[in-house]
């Protein structure tokens, strides 16, 4: 009898350690929540009733909506070193005090209804039913940045390359801050509706429409692959990532995570009373989920048994190219000083235009036509990518 009891207790302990459970955050139960953001100890959530704030890792939220949209949903957040920004049904709003007060910042937006907002370098981007808008002064003024006849639903970036998902027109890419956009739909089949897009280093993840799932691109959107590996088919509305994992939120099938860049996925839904996910976020200790009808939930990262703790590591490319732009020759600098075994340069359609196999970090490009190219460097089984401009 003692042996059986001990085995049972060990089984319970093992199950709790491996599987874990979601915990509903106090202060949001029964609410529609659509967006999340972590800024140090400040955890923001937004939805149908406005913006909420938690300072205890998402355990408790309270309304933090003074001056923000109080008519429709707060659909997205972004941040820089000075401000938090929201994207709402009534335009963009900005807070300088971590959500205590908000100020409207919508001058120049031709349609206030927003679907996404993103900070890239010194620029802000706002997307909605009338395309993309850009601000160079922290939201004080906005101007059109393309796709004016397209319903744009989401935006992400890899370094200075922009990617947007649309409602009905697939995915677009811009390499000149929205002056020009071109479609990148190879591999997407008939899927044209994308409401979530995420960059993890140089890998892109996009949430397709009902009947599809999550697509991945490892070549800056030139080609896409529909992922399996345990993912449920369906629409996906939210992603979050760090250097260790990517997390995907589905519209009706809950949350999945992957530790191998999307090859294999595991569902983590125990305790999650609403499986329709609008957004996901990561803080130091938890995965945070915004649900359609049951508010915010959090899941302890410790239950995933990750090899190391969450680290704020720069996920940008570990190579740099100079001069860039260049007319004749480029030099390649790696973070650890290694020489590249092979260099392949492609245009933005994926076509190889130059290949070099000498063990060197210099490439002559004077014969290439003027344009933008992707340099792919290979060394000891690793692949590095960076964009450059040929003048």
In the chain, % of residues over pLDDT 90: 72
Q: Which residues have CB under 8 Å from 204's CB, separation 6+?
A: 156, 158, 163, 197, 198, 216, 217, 218, 220, 221
Q: Given 1.20.950.20, 1.25.40.10, 2.130.10.10, 1.10.1740.10, which CATH number is that of 2-304? A: 2.130.10.10
CATH architecture of 319-390: Sandwich (2.60)
Q: Is 152 exposed, middle or buried (0-12, 13-18, 19+ CB in 10 A)?
A: buried
SS3 for 262?
coil
pLDDT at 20: 66
| pLDDT of amino acid 309 | 36
Give CATH 2.130.10.10 domain extents, the chain: 2-304
Residue ranges, CATH 2.60.40.1930, the chain = 319-390
The answer to pTM > 0.95 is no
pLDDT digit string (tens) for 7-39?
Answer: 434 333 433 333 469 999 999 999 999 999 999
Token pair of 363 as six digits: 């490439």
CB 46 within 8 A of CB 76: yes
- Whole-number pLDDT of residue 23: 96
The confidence score (pLDDT) of residue 111 equals: 95
Please list the ranges in the chain whose pLDDT falls under 70. Answer: 1-20, 307-318, 335-338, 348-349, 358-360, 380-382
Kindly give, in sequence order, each residue whose CB lies less than 8 Å from that of residue 224, ignoring residues fewer than 6 positions away.
Answer: 171, 184, 185, 186, 187, 188, 206, 215, 216, 217
Write the pLDDT tens digit of every residue in 331-354: 887 756 667 778 888 886 677 898
């Amino acid at each position: 009898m003692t042996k059986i009891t001990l085995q049972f207790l060990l089984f319970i302990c093992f199950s709790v350690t491996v599987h874990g459970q979601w915990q509903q955050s106090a202060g949001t139960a029964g609410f529609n929540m659509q967006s999340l953001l972590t800024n140090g100890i400040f955890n923001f959530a937004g939805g149908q009733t406005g913006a909420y704030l938690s300072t205890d890792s998402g355990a408790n939220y309270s309304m933090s909506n003074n001056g923000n949209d109080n008519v429709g949903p707060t659909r997205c957040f972004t941040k820089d070193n000075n401000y938090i920004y929201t994207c709402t049904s009534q335009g963009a709003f900005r807070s300088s005090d971590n959500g205590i007060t908000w100020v409207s910042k919508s001058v120049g937006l031709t349609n206030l209804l927003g679907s996404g907002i993103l900070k890239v370098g010194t620029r802000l981007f706002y997307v909605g039913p009338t395309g993309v808008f850009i601000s160079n002064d922290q939201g004080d003024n906005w101007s059109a940045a393309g796709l004016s006849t397209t319903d744009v639903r989401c935006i992400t970036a890899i370094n200075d390359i922009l990617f947007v998902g649309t409602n009905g027109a697939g995915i677009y890419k811009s390499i000149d801050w929205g002056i020009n956009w071109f479609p990148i739909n190879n591999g997407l089949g008939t899927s044209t509706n994308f409401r979530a897009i995420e960059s993890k280093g140089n890998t892109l993840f996009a949430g397709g429409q009902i009947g599809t799932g999550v697509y991945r691109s490892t070549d800056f959107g030139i080609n896409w692959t529909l992922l399996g590996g345990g993912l449920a088919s369906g629409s996906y509305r939210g992603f979050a990532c760090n250097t260790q994992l990517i997390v995907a939120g589905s519209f009706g099938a809950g949350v999945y995570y992957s530790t191998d860049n999307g090859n294999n996925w595991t569902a983590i839904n125990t305790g999650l009373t609403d499986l329709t996910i609008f957004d996901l976020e990561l803080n130091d200790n938890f995965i945070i989920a915004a649900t359609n009808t049951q508010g915010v939930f959090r899941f302890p990262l410790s239950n995933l048994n990750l090899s190391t703790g969450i680290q704020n590591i720069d996920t940008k490319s570990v190579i740099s190219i100079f001069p860039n732009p260049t007319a004749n020759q480029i030099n390649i600098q790696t973070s650890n000083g290694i020489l590249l075994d092979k260099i392949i340069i492609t245009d933005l359609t994926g076509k190889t235009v130059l290949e070099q196999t000498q063990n060197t970090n210099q490439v002559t490009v004077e014969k290439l036509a003027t344009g933008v190219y992707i340099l792919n460097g290979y060394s000891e089984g690793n692949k590095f990518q960076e964009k450059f401009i040929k003048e």
